[in-house]
Amino acid sequence: MGSIGAIVGGILGSWLSTRRLKKKYDKEKRDLLQYLQLQEEIYAQTNQRWNKEYTKLYNAYEKLQSETLERDYEEFKAPDTNNDDMISRTEV
């Protein structure tokens, strides 16, 4: 009878140990998935902020480029007194 109790005890102990390990594995899996989801959210937020900053910088660059082009044209146009888009020796 003692050997049967030992076998049943061994099986029961093994089953409990396996069950504990499965619960631990499942918890670690949930924690890891939660961590990965959090990382994805952080990445998406960071990417969104970078896109906004890039858009601001690009718009500022476009505005500066446009203003520079206008200023250069005005500087060219200033000596063109007869408005023929050419600067002749007499206009200089």
What are the pLDDT digits (tens) for 2-23? Answer: 677 677 777 777 887 888 888 9
CA 7 → CA 11, 12, 21, 30, 90, distances in Å? Answer: 6, 8, 21, 34, 115
Buried b (16+ CB within 10 A) or exposed e, 41-67: eeeeeeeeeeeeeeeeeeeeeeeeeee
- The residue length of the chain stands at 92
What are 32-89's pLDDT values in tens digits?
Answer: 999 999 999 999 999 999 999 999 999 999 999 999 999 998 888 888 888 888 888 8
Write down the domain spans for the chain: 1-92
Query: How many whole angstroms separate alpha carbon 47 and alpha carbon 41?
Result: 10
